[in-house]
Structure 1
Amino acid sequence: MSKLSNEDIEKRLLRFPDWEFYDDAIHAEFEFENFKDCFSAMSRIAFECEALNHHPDWSNTYNILSISLSSHDVNGVSDKDFKLAEAIEFIVEPEE
């Protein structure tokens, strides 16, 4: 696994409009109806994190979930971060 270039990160972020790149990580914030829904999403995301063996820096305040993804072993963003971001998007975004 290798660190992605800033150009590659910005190009990949076109598929993830809720995410931003700064401080060598990709970041997103999601708002839920209430704390229970937020915590439920966090629990589902935790299972994806374990499956990918990749864990976010995250926090929540009531119904807001803040997530930062980076790969510490490459000191930046890698493909693993985008795989986890994709799984997170699938969990938090309602199906249309």
Structure 2
Amino acid sequence: MSKLSEQDIEKRLLHFPDWDYYDNAIHAEFEFENFKDCFSAMSRIAFECEALNHHPDWSNTYNILTISLSTHDAKGVTNKDFKLAEAIESIVEPDEE
């Protein structure tokens, strides 16, 4: 998988307003009502990670989930990271109808 240029990353981030690019990765922080909701989202994200065979650097403190995505083999951000970011977004911020 090829590393994306900084210009490509910034362009793609226009579709991911909760995400920022720095330190050669894309980063986001999500706040939930409580620890249980945060952990539940992490569990659902874990299944997506396994399905995509791509795993984030992440942590949580009580109700805050912090995620960093980069493709270690490519030493930077790739399409794989944006695919996982999209899956994460659909879990933490489902479309409201």
TM-score, scaled relative to structure 2? 0.98
Q: Percent identity over the alignment?
A: 85
State the Cα deviation string for residues 15-68 of structure 1 (Å, max 9, x = none): 000000000000000000000000000000000000000000000000000000
State the Cα deviation string for residues 54-85 of structure 1 (Å, max 9, x = none): 00000000000000000000100000000000
Displacement of 1:8 in angstroms is 0.1
Tell me which amino acid in the other structure corresponds to 2:6: N
Q: How many residues align?
A: 96
Identify unmatched segments of 5+ residues in structure 1: none
The alignment partner of 1:59 has SS state of strand
1:27 matched to 2:40: no
Structure 1 residue runs of 4+, over 3 Å off?
Answer: none
* Alignment partner, residue 75 of structure 1: 75
Identify unmatched segments of 5+ residues in structure 2: none
Tell me which amino acid in the other structure corresponds to 1:56: P
CA–CA separation in structure 1 for the residues paired with 2:85 and 2:60: 17
* Alignment partner, residue 14 of structure 1: 14
* Alignment partner, residue 55 of structure 1: 55
The root-mean-square deviation of aligned C-alpha atoms, in Å, is 0.5
CA–CA separation in structure 1 for the residues paired with 2:95 and 2:84: 18
